[in-house]
């Protein structure tokens, strides 16, 4: 995975596909569809990854996403990805309603792994 430097707090590290594992979490793509968006796990800022070629070395630069835009993106991510039923793809606005749905429709707890006793 690519190594990045946070444009806000200057943390350096790797992007990890597992949430909360690396220095940065993947948060989908910027609306132009080309540049990845990551969240810095140190300062919680959102960053747009700006790939560039410098002396033949690929070293992505990051841009800090403005606070207000980032808050909106965080909310959308939460609703569309984190609060999404892994069984049928339906989305929810609260953790509670997702759990209720999992239990009622699929007979599962929110982890999606164990059937209820």
- Reference 67, options 46, 37, 39; nearest CA is 46
Q: What's the closest the beta carbon of residue 6 comes to Zn ion, in angstroms?
A: 3
Total residues contacting Zn ion by CB under 5 A comes to 12
Q: What's the closest the beta carbon of residue 56 comes to Zn ion, in angstroms?
A: 27
Q: What's the closest the beta carbon of residue 105 comes to Zn ion, in angstroms?
A: 5
Is 100 strand, coil or helix? helix
**From 87, 93, 94, 103, residue interacting with Zn ion (rule: CB under 5 A):** 87
Distance CA 54, CA 11 (A): 21
Nearer to Zn ion, 42 or 74 (CB): 42
End-to-end CA distance of the chain: 41
> Which residues have a Cβ under 8 Å from the Cβ of 37 and sit 6 or more positions away?
26, 27, 28, 29, 30, 46, 47, 48, 49, 65, 73
Nearer to Zn ion, 76 or 103 (CB): 103
Q: What's the closest the beta carbon of residue 34 comes to Zn ion, in angstroms?
A: 22
Task: State which of positions 31-70 bind Zn ion (CB under 5 A).
Answer: 40, 42-43
Tell me which residues touch Zn ion (CB under 5 A). 6, 8-9, 11, 40, 42-43, 85, 87-88, 90, 105
């Amino acid at each position: 995975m690519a190594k990045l430097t946070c444009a806000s707090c200057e943390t350096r590290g790797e992007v990890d596909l597992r949430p909360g594992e690396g220095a940065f979490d993947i948060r989908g793509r910027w609306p132009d569809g080309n540049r990845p968006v990551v969240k810095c796990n140190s300062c919680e800022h959102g960053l747009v990854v700006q790939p560039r070629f410098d002396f033949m070395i690929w070293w992505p630069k990051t841009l800090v996403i403005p606070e207000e835009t980032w808050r909106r993106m965080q909310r959308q991510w939460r609703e569309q990805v984190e609060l999404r039923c892994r069984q049928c793809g339906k989305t929810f606005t609260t953790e509670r309603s997702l759990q209720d749905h999992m239990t009622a429709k699929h007979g599962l707890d929110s982890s999606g792994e164990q059937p209820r006793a």
